[in-house]
Amino acid sequence: MGNRRAVVTGIGCVTPIGIGAEELWAGVKRGKSAVKRIDRFESGGLRSQIAAQVERFDPLQYMDKKRAHRMDRYSQLAVAAGSMALAHAGIKPEEADAERAGILMGSALGGIAYAEEQCGQFLVGGYRSVSPTLGFSVFGGAASCNMAMAFGFTGLNETNAMSCASGAVAIGRALAAIRRGEADFILAGGSEAPLAPLSFGAFDMLRAMSTRNEAPEQASRPFDKNRDGFVMGEGSAVLLIEEESHARARGARIIAELSGFGISNDAYHMSAPLPSGTQAARALRQALRDADLSEDEVGYINAHGSSTPLNDVTESKVIRAVFGDRPVAVSGTKGLYGHPLGASGAIEAAITCLSLQEGWLPPTSNLENPDPLSPVDLIARAGRDARTAAAVSNSYGFGGINASLAFRRV
């Protein structure tokens, strides 16, 4: 298909720090954590009792009541983010070529929280008390399929389930599909709604989450020496990835170029990263090679920065292995909105694109005492004005999945 390039022309999101691209960026600039005590369910008995919740989401602002009733929160978040991405890009679904419009999403848990809720209904009232929508709500693909029906898009459609890297994987797959000529534009990102007792409790049993319950807003602290685990969040983010000539022909505003993707697997452990970080480093190098970028051209890395003791040390090794002692700016933004699992890579890709567009790099939230093994140029406390030529976003997930996305400033 020739030299087809992919650009980002729209961003839609539902996050704890803001709904929509403008609110998300305002939340990043504000730097105030949305983490607080869980109020969705009784958390007594759990080690971790904090989360980053989306407080102001009304699905009826993005879909009619009938459609909303047929979806669980997981799918509602995805459809809402997709709607905002289309509007942000200036694309009206009814005017688009439906067969040339794709949807690629990612989610770690899909509709599991809704299944959990309906299981409770079943235990109390039997089969007749269970919603008839259960069967087609819980599978991961419900996100992209509901989006397709909402927008009338009949092209490429898929939702991957690659854990906390799934949103980034979806965006990377969109890049490949645009290059192959499979679509003119693709809605790509992630959605996650995991804040339910058993889903949350399963991670609590792994002792992977922060127990800083008395100071929730300070709990998620990527690369800090005193970090003690991640903070679970929820949300969705969708990027509209468009073939460049298609975007320019319609006079679209281009936010950034999506230029590279790398993916690998540690083949080591389900919940712990490979200590050496060699495979994650390989994914990062793949992304740079795919983007035809040298290490010197990259001015910013939005780190996965989960705030777990093992992950942050390993990611620091990865960055040093690829960039050496060159002071490439690094920050982790999960301290603001927690870790919404499969949606996090998409949210962070959106933040990376906005950072390139706005010429401002966000700081690492709650970073008070940097781990001695942290990256060389870790942005702390205050953001930084910088017109960088290119940036990278890293995402890692259970099962040893590593994904890196590379973006260029336009």
**Contact (CB, 8 A) for 280 and 315:** yes
To which H or E segment does residue 37 belong?
strand 35-37
Q: What is the largest CA-CA distance in the chain?
A: 63
Active-site residue flag, 88: no
Coil, strand, or helix at residue 354? helix
**Long-range contacts from 156-159, C-beta under 8 angstroms, 24+ separation:** 156/102, 156/103, 156/104, 156/182, 156/183, 156/186, 157/102, 157/103, 157/104, 158/103, 158/104, 158/105, 159/104, 159/105, 159/106, 159/107, 159/110
Coil, strand, or helix at residue 151? helix
Nearest-angstrom CA–CA distance, 309 and 298: 26
Within its chain, how far is the Cα of 16 from the centroid? 13
| Selected catalytic residue, list 13, 88, 246, 339 | 339
Active-site residue flag, 269: no
| Selected catalytic residue, list 13, 145, 164, 353 | 164
**Residues pairing with 404 in the sheet:** 262, 394
Nearest-angstrom CA–CA distance, 34 and 141: 28
Coil, strand, or helix at residue 395? strand
Nearest-angstrom CA–CA distance, 134 and 161: 19
Active-site residue flag, 246: no
Nearest-angstrom CA–CA distance, 325 and 336: 28
Cβ-count burial of 39 within 10 angstroms (0-12 exposed, 13-18 middle, 19+ buried)?
Answer: exposed
**Contact (CB, 8 A) for 381 and 244:** no
| Selected catalytic residue, list 13, 88, 246, 304 | 304
In this structure, the strands spanning 6-15 and 256-265 are antiparallel
- Half-sphere exposure in the Cβ direction for 40 (13 Å, CA): 22
The phi and psi torsions of 356 (rounded to 5 degrees) equal -65, -45
Catalytic residues: 164, 304, 339
